A and B are shown apart, each in its own frame.
Chain A
Amino acid sequence: MIDSPRADRAATVTIAVLAVAFALFFVLPLAGLIVRAIEEESTWSLLKEPQVRQALGLSLWTSTVTVALTVVFGTPVAYILARGRFPGRAFLDALIDLPIVLPPTVAGVALLTAFGRRGIIGEPIEAWTGYAFSFTTTAVVMAQLLVAAPFYVRAAKSGFESMDPQVERVAYTLGASRVRTFFRITVPQAWPALLAGFVLCWARSMGELGATLIFAGNLEGKTQTMPLAIISAFEGSSLGLAGAIALSLILLVVAFLVLVVFRMAGRWARWT
């Protein structure tokens, strides 16, 4: 069959219409948020509210700790999954993927059954030490870790996998220890993937809501992160709808900044 120019043109128009409609669907909510935030006179004063500042501070702090822990624990795991051949590897691989597809609320319930006051580990720990995880900032980090870390591990693993293992082997024959090879050769070469995982993990933990709400609760100044503050604003806290809009705008700006920095870092990684 030979396509006529007419059919060709019709196809072009159809694709253009679909693309524009789809783009509008993404742009309109963002525009709405910005427009409403500008219209609302109280936006700026709301940003100075202690509850908002606390939520923002807590979100930045907990997500940073989460990312740091993820990198420390997740990088070796990602490397082992990428390079190692051992029994149970496929199982471990699937296990780490699980939280990505699991609803965060389920993750929250799961955390509660393990580390909660009646949890299989949480109960004995509290009996011995008197320390309970639930409703603490630690619980916020734990919730974020469970939900967000897999994104980093996944990205780092594919980064390591895409590297030619010969490169490491040659480094060994040049006298470099495994540790030196890892930091001088492997990490720099997998850097773009690690960076992508980093950003995904950080963004996911900044936005974490379900697991935090269930496992850590919604305590102002202690476990109330930005997404939780937005929910509270809707449910009738003193901030109100205007507060929810202001908080959302902050998250939007932060997300945008992270994306820009990420893009720049990615470009920098390619050029150096």
Chain B
Amino acid sequence: MDVTLEFSARRTLGAFSYDASFTASSNEILVLYGHSGAGKSLTLQFIAGLLRPDRGRVVLRGATVFDSESRLNLPPQRRKVGYVVQELALFEHLSVAENVAFGLPRERDRAARVRELLGLLDISGFEDRRPSTLSGGQRQRVALARALAREAPLLLLDEPFSALDDALRNSMRRELLRLRTELGLTILFVTHDLREAHFLADRIAVFDGGRVLQLGAREDVFRRPASRRVAELTGVANIWEGVVTHVAPEAVTVNVKGASLRASPSVRAFVPGERVHAVVRAERVNLRRDMQAASSPRNLIPAEIVAEFAYGSSHVLQLQPEGPGPRIEIEIAARPYEVLNIASRKLFNVEIDPADVHLVPGEDRPGGAITA
């Protein structure tokens, strides 16, 4: 995997300050995830040359295109990146073929290349149509074909699918995974949609307030958030305040509202008495019908279902422990929900694998950004 992009930038825009840096490699989708206004789109504009960082450096495939030290700032025309925005910005007065050919050099056999690109994106036969006569999904494909025309090694996609309906969005996401592999592209994909981020990402950069709070492999970020804030942003339902009571090589024990919770040891070392947050994703929690308190290394908490929400493919349940302990939210697929007969039975043993209990520092020890 060769590095396609080395990026670092700082910029102050009024009260907002941006400061981020990362690298991306070929055949990789790096998802820039965060709420709107977190600095994701700014990142793409810095890379494309549409906005100038106050300080920083952008290197594309070994060639420096921006460097504040040496006062180098190549214009967007000379940076060779594919850029697709949410509104697509198609050239409505040009045909599909003319849209795609717009970025092609004159000396090339443009017609053949356009045919090839339209074939690649499965929109052959639409050459002479106006974009306004196409469906949302077809317009999307035209925008992608146009961005790919210059054979840019790096694609910058700014929430490109957010205007599509669910079914179309899913098929476009799969299409993108195929293109990534087929063309060995590096893709920076901006989204505020958690499911989309999870589906597409090889790695995720979690943006908040102009900073990258955490950057890492998808599973790392989702299951081992670096801080409480990252846990919140990545949709962790159970974030409990607690105090470390015991540290052993095989597990760290935490007291959460009177209940003892075992967590697998993490990279970060904790000491007894330290305030922490225990972070557990709703879909990692299991329900057991047998009520005997097994002496397993797993956390078992007898609890009662107090609220239920049905989402069709899954159910979200809230459980209150019979003894002391925090309220627990779990997500369970439709089939196990039926098998466990949850509709009529309310008392269960909540089972949490210590590996799924992730500890992050409490508020008094703010964690810095972790990058991997």
CB-CB contacts below 8 Å: B45-103 with A: 48-50, 75-85, 87, 89-93, 102-103
Question: CA A185 – CA B103 in complex, angstroms?
Answer: 13
| Interface mask (A235-272 → B, CB under 8 Å = 1, otherwise 0) | 00000000000000000000000000000000000001
Identify which of A167, A191, A272 contacts B91 (C-beta below 8 A): A167
**B150 beta carbon closer than 8 Å to chain A:** yes
Does B76 lie within 8 Å of A173, measured CB to CB? yes
Compute the total of residue contacts between A and B using a CB distance below 8 Å: 59
Identify which of B49, B87, B103 contacts A174 (C-beta below 8 A): B103
Q: Please give, as numbers and ranges, the residues of chain B lying within 8 Å of A225 by CB-CB distance.
A: none
Does A272 lie within 8 Å of B93, measured CB to CB? yes
Nearest CB of chain A from residue B104's CB, rounded to whole Å: 9
Question: CA A251 – CA B372 in complex, angstroms?
Answer: 76
Question: CA A189 – CA B91 in complex, angstroms?
Answer: 8
When A169-B50, A170-B83 are in contact, do A175 and B89 touch as well, CB less than 8 Å? no
Q: Please give, as numbers and ranges, the residues of chain A lying within 8 Å of B92 by CB-CB distance.
A: 189
Does B102 lie within 8 Å of A176, measured CB to CB? yes
Does A169 lie within 8 Å of B87, measured CB to CB? no
Closest to B101 in A: A174
**A14 beta carbon closer than 8 Å to chain B:** no
**A172 beta carbon closer than 8 Å to chain B:** yes
**A177 beta carbon closer than 8 Å to chain B:** yes
Q: Please give, as numbers and ranges, the residues of chain A lying within 8 Å of B90 by CB-CB distance.
A: 167
CB-CB contacts below 8 Å: B11-51 with A: 48-50
**A171 beta carbon closer than 8 Å to chain B:** yes
Does B77 lie within 8 Å of A176, measured CB to CB? yes
Does B102 lie within 8 Å of A166, measured CB to CB? no
Q: Please give, as numbers and ranges, the residues of chain B lying within 8 Å of A272 by CB-CB distance.
A: 93
When A188-B93, A189-B93, A272-B93 are in contact, do A175 and B87 touch as well, CB less than 8 Å? no
Question: CA A185 – CA B90 in complex, angstroms?
Answer: 10
**B360 beta carbon closer than 8 Å to chain A:** no
Does B103 lie within 8 Å of A164, measured CB to CB? no
Closest to B48 in A: A173
Question: CA A177 – CA B76 in complex, angstroms?
Answer: 9
Closest to A189 in B: B93
| Interface mask (A176-189 → B, CB under 8 Å = 1, otherwise 0) | 11000000110011
Closest to B100 in A: A174
Q: Please give, as numbers and ranges, the residues of chain B lying within 8 Å of A171 by CB-CB distance.
A: 91, 102
Does A173 lie within 8 Å of B79, measured CB to CB? yes
Identify which of B49, B78, B89 contacts A164 (C-beta below 8 A): B89
Identify which of A167, A172, A185, A188 contacts B50 (C-beta below 8 A): A172
Closest to B158 in A: A166
When A169-B50, A169-B76 are in contact, do A175 and B91 touch as well, CB less than 8 Å? no
**B5 beta carbon closer than 8 Å to chain A:** no
When A164-B87, A166-B87 are in contact, do A172 and B93 touch as well, CB less than 8 Å? no
Closest to A167 in B: B89
Q: Please give, as numbers and ranges, the residues of chain B lying within 8 Å of A185 by CB-CB distance.
A: 91
**B146 beta carbon closer than 8 Å to chain A:** yes
Nearest CB of chain A from residue B54's CB, rounded to whole Å: 18
Question: CA A137 – CA B90 in complex, angstroms?
Answer: 46
Does B85 lie within 8 Å of A166, measured CB to CB? yes
Question: CA A16 – CA B78 in complex, angstroms?
Answer: 63
**B149 beta carbon closer than 8 Å to chain A:** yes
30 pairs from A and B in contact (CB 8 Å cutoff): A164-B87, A164-B89, A166-B87, A166-B89, A167-B89, A167-B91, A169-B48, A169-B83, A169-B85, A169-B89, A170-B83, A171-B91, A172-B75, A173-B49, A173-B77, A173-B81, A173-B147, A174-B102, A174-B103, A174-B146, A174-B149, A175-B103, A175-B105, A175-B150, A177-B77, A184-B102, A185-B91, A188-B93, A189-B93, A272-B93
Closest 7 pairs (CB-CB, A-B): A174-B103, A172-B76, A173-B83, A166-B89, A167-B89, A188-B93, A170-B89
11 A-B pairs besides A171-B102, A173-B48 with CB distance below 8 A are A166-B89, A167-B89, A169-B50, A170-B84, A171-B91, A173-B82, A173-B147, A174-B146, A175-B77, A176-B77, A191-B93
